[in-house]
Amino acid sequence: MAQTYDVAVIGAGPGGYVAAIRCAQLGLDTVCIDAFKNPQGKASLGGTCLNVGCIPSKALLESSENFHKAKHEFAVHGVKVSGVALDLATMMARKDKIVAQFTGGIAMLLRKNKVAAMHGTARFVSGGEVYTLEVDDAGKQETVTARHVIIATGSSPRHFDFSPVDGELIVDNAGALAFDAVPPRLGIIGAGVIGLELGSVWRRLGSEVTILEALPTFLAAADEQVAKEAWRTFTKEQGLAIQLGVKIAAVKAGKKQVTVEYADAEGSHKLAFNRLIVATGRVPNSASVNAAAVGVEVDTRGFIAVDEHCRTHAPNVYAVGDVVRGAMLAHKASEEGVMVAELIAGQAGHVDYDVIPAVIYTAPEIAWVGKTEQQLKADGVAYSVGQFPFSANGRARALGAGSGFAKMLTDAASDRILGVHIIGPCAGELIAEAVTAMAYQASGEDVARTIHAHPSLSEALHEAALAANKRALHI
């Protein structure tokens, strides 16, 4: 006999589990269905983000940065360290423990909010006033019916025929978080967020890292000035070898190494690596839900068609997160999940897509929200620029993190903040102030007249706001 719910959520990543919790908070009888299994073959909630993405990668970024600082930076503080050695197994165990704590925490949150949890792959069987879903868990099938369905199935790494992922020598982001040894020579295909973060981890731990990027420009989505500063830092200071405008011709895996043949503006090349990471983006997980059975439209790239409120073409069926248009970001998925839950409950759910921050957790961190300078130029918008270097920020210098800057773009006529771009220490934390300011349509002067603690990194944003109004105090 089918179990009946008000809402069935397919997927327990940041979009799905948050949507399920919010639905339950609003009095809706909710089930959350998820198919993810960890490397041990056990059900593990949290999706890619908590299991093999955001959380484990940040754990390794922090550990590798501590290792690098102990070897190269502590001495300037008068802290003399000798015999620094890497215990990769312990580092990986710490990462795995954090993942286990958070995935277990999601299970606890679902129980706390009285959300039913099911493991398996859910697919539509029929629709109408009530939708019927078949849930398959390794051949064991159950049926669920619900008046509303939220699709939050996330995304998977994009694989290409020329670089087949074998999980050994050639890996995707999941495999790159579980190496049992530091590869002497590491190749990465893709210089996006995943490629740069993973490249940073293994470079700090001792790998010689080469990143091959198809696009002719570096960090094309970021502000050009930020991208230029990041390029200088990553290549000249940190030693990442980044090749742009690359066309991969062949990838050949041998017994102990991988050979990559590629061409760029300078001709044809061949490089050999001990390990190769394929970080060429992600594709939506839409095939498994049998969307066509209930009239949910999916485009040629696999994205589910939705409106601004994440409604699909099927009545009472919604889709959120990586499986729909927009940036593939965990926080974007979560906010869409909240919006949809509130709409189902008859409230006025909303997501402001103009103020979704982006963060790259390298060192220095990179973060931005709103328009870039090149976008404003292309749109013909008259704007003012305020910029402040972290080298002139007391807190940053005390931390030994004086590279980078904070940059604010404001409307030349109204002074409304149009974009904020930061490369420097704790940029991912600092960007929250900019997001809040823009969400409330603040002006540069509003931030400039807000008192910021001294000494703090946030003063860099304060000074950037002052500079946008041509009244900077410390530069």
pLDDT digits (tens, 9 = 90+) for 263-293: 999 999 999 999 999 999 999 999 999 999 9
Of 194, 192, 198, which is closest to residue 218 (Cα–Cα)? 192
Cβ atoms of 320 and 152 within 8 Å: the answer is: yes
pLDDT digits (tens, 9 = 90+) for 130-176: 999 999 999 999 999 999 999 999 999 998 877 789 989 999 999 99
Q: From CA 409, how far away is CA 62, in angstroms rounded?
A: 31
Residue 67, Cβ density class (10 Å: 0-12 exposed, 13-18 middle, ≥19 buried): buried
* Radius of gyration of the chain, Cα coordinates, nearest whole angstrom: 24
Q: What is the pLDDT of residue 3?
A: 85
Q: What is the pLDDT of residue 228?
A: 98
Q: From CA 38, how far away is CA 409, in angstroms rounded?
A: 43
* Rounded (10°) CA dihedral 214, 220, 226, 228: 40
- The neighbour count for residue 263, using CB atoms within 10 Å, is 13
Q: Are strands 185-189 and 208-212 parallel, antiparallel or unpaired?
A: parallel
> Residue 1: is its pLDDT beyond 70?
no
Cβ atoms of 187 and 277 within 8 Å: the answer is: yes
Cβ partners under 8 Å of residue 454, min gap 6? 394
Amino acid at 120: G
Cα 256 to chain centroid distance, Å, stands at 31
CA 3, 7, 11, 14 torsion-angle sign? negative
> Residue 307: is its pLDDT beyond 70?
yes
Q: Which residues face 132 on adjacent strands?
A: 126, 145
Q: From CA 266, how far away is CA 248, in angstroms rounded?
A: 14
Q: From CA 187, how far away is CA 273, in angstroms rounded?
A: 6
pLDDT band at 16 (very low <50, low <70, confident <90, very high): very high
Q: What is the pLDDT of residue 162?
A: 79
Q: From CA 319, how far away is CA 285, in angstroms rounded?
A: 11
The overall average pLDDT reported for the chain is 97
Cβ partners under 8 Å of residue 30, min gap 6? 5, 6, 7, 8, 9, 20, 23, 24, 115, 116
The residue-averaged pLDDT of 300-324 equals 98
Q: What is the pLDDT of residue 408?
A: 98
Q: What is the pLDDT of residue 430?
A: 98
Name the DSSP letter for residue 26: T
Indicate which residue of 77, 452, 454, 474 is catalytic.
Answer: 454
Show the tokens assigned to 85. 């050695």
Show the tokens assigned to 467. 């500079």
Give yes or no for a cis peptide into 364 (omega within 30° of 0). Answer: yes
Greatest Cα-to-Cα distance within the chain, rounded to the nearest angstrom: 71
Residue 454 appears among annotated catalytic residues: yes
pLDDT digits (tens, 9 = 90+) for 397-440: 999 999 999 999 999 999 999 999 999 999 999 999 999 999 99
Q: From CA 474, how far away is CA 452, in angstroms rounded?
A: 14
Q: Which residues face 185 on adjacent strands?
A: 208
Give Cα separations from 168 to 183, 207, 433 (angstroms).
12, 17, 42
Number of H helices, E strands in the chain: 13, 22
Q: From CA 471, how far away is CA 132, in angstroms rounded?
A: 62
Residue identified by tokens 């069935």 is 8
Show the tokens assigned to 18. 């948050």
CA 195, 200, 398: angle at the middle one, nearest 5? 135
pLDDT digits (tens, 9 = 90+) for 54-85: 999 999 999 999 999 999 999 999 999 999 99
Residue identified by tokens 């740069």 is 196
Show the tokens assigned to 462. 């304060």
Q: From CA 241, how far away is CA 59, in angstroms rounded?
A: 24
Q: From CA 275, how far away is CA 185, in angstroms rounded?
A: 7
Q: From CA 198, how far away is CA 272, in angstroms rounded?
A: 19
H or E stretch at 62: helix 54-72
Q: What is the pLDDT of residue 355?
A: 98
Cα 460 to chain centroid distance, Å, stands at 25
The residue-averaged pLDDT of 297-313 equals 98
Local structure of 250: helix, strand or coil? strand
Q: From CA 282, how far away is CA 155, in angstroms rounded?
A: 6
Q: What is the pLDDT of residue 40?
A: 86
Tallying the residues shown for the chain, one arrives at 475
Q: From CA 419, how far away is CA 465, in angstroms rounded?
A: 11
